[in-house]
Amino acid sequence: MKRKTDRKEPLTGADEGWRRRTRRAHAGLLVTAAITVLVSGAMGVSAAVGAKKIVAVGAENQYANVIGQIGGQYVQVSAMISNPNTDPHTFEASPAAAATISSADLVVQNGLGYDTFMNKIEAASPNHLRLVIDVQRLLKLPSKTANPHLWYRPSAMVAVAKAVAQDLGKRAPTHLGYFLTRARRFDASLTPWYQAIAQIKSKFPGAAVATSEPVGDYLLQAAGASNRTPWTLQADIMNGVDPAPQEVSLQDGLLSQHRVRVFLYNQQVTDTLTNSFLTLARRAGIPVVALYETMPTPGYDYQTWMTAEARALYRALADRESTTRL
């Protein structure tokens, strides 16, 4: 099982004052926090008093946030996983979480084995009226797709928002136009994120980076960065498997020999090995970018979170511009 960190860094990419202690994830103990109701009217529309709302669930809080933005005053949305100390890979749902899902009109889940607990609960509580959006299937990705962190794909949430609008419209046909309008507004709000990605690609084409695991790999690919960390090392850390010694040695060399501009790591999941990479990066003066696996709250919605991550990467790359041309 992965080890979790209870430290929450700002989305700046800075690693000053780094202090960390890790702990085993007790995911089952965090369900009460995980199913906290999110703000339904995320784009400023107040709910109609007494109106029956569409009950919706996002497996992860980033999906719940998008549901709330599209559904506005007509949805009551909650997230199964919203606590940053919860590892989605090892999450185990409680009876309370199962009850939340069983009563839902609409569910959005990631797929690709990332949130299999959702499938188990849905199978245990059949409901022919419940609509389920599996993002893997929505994007028509094969089950062998290696990286499950689909929300870092720039095009993924556009497809999710459209599908959410359409499915909400099935539950409330008279409000379909409202949902589609908000989906278009959501699409437009992603522009700053796209611009930040384009700036990285233009200013630092092919920039060499290292990572602890593939949380932000889709973002790196979109930005034209070159991830020098072997995929097998990333996958092993993601899955809680001890990497091969030769790959650990390769990663150490990337950092200690200044062969990368930036080191990116998943700050929600750390262990002794990840901490050793962080230490090497700091000693070598390589900027560190801390990524989140689930959306940090409060203070962010999906689009501002993604924009902040991309801008943090840009600043970290800029920090190395004067000393290296990797």
pLDDT of residue 227: 98
Mean residue pLDDT of the chain comes to: 84
Domains present along the chain, CATH in parentheses: 3-20+192-320 (3.40.50.1980), 28-190 (3.40.50.1980)
Residue 57 has pLDDT above 90, yes or no: yes
Residue 311 has pLDDT above 90, yes or no: yes
Task: Tell me: pLDDT of 3 over 60.
Answer: no
SS3 assignment for the chain: CCEEECCCCCCCCCCCCCCCCEEECCHHHHHHHHCCECCCCCCCCCCCCCCCCEEEEEEEHHHHHHHHHHHHHHEEEEEEECCCCCCHHHCCCCHHHHHHHHCCCEEEECCCCCCHHHHHHHHHCCCCCCEEEEHHHHCCCCCCCCCCCHHHCCCHHHHHHHHHHHHHHHHCHHHHHHHHHHHHHHHHHCHHHHHHHHHHHHHCCCCEEEECCHHHHHHHHHCCCEECCCHHHHHHHHCCCCCCHHHHHHHHHHHHCCCCCEEEEECCECCHHHHHHHHHHHHHCCCEEEECCCCCCCCCCHHHHHHHHHHHHHHHHHHHCCCCCC
**What per-residue confidence (pLDDT) applies to 41?**
40
Range with the poorest average pLDDT among 28-42, 191-205, 286-300: 28-42
Interval 218-268: pLDDT, tens = 999 999 999 999 999 999 999 999 999 999 999 999 999 999 999 999 988
Confidence of residue 16 (pLDDT cuts 50, 70, 90): very low
User: Which has more pLDDT, 7 or 60?
Assistant: 60
116-135 mean pLDDT: 93
Lowest mean pLDDT among 62-66, 82-86, 179-183: 82-86
pLDDT over threshold 90, residue 43: no
320 vs 198, residue with greater confidence: 198
- What pLDDT sits at residue 12? 43
pLDDT at 203 over 70: yes
d(CA 128, CA 105) in angstroms, rounded, equals 10
| Residue range 122-151: mean pLDDT, rounded | 95
pTM of the predicted protein model: 0.84
Q: How confident is the model at residue 269 (pLDDT cuts 50, 70, 90)?
A: confident
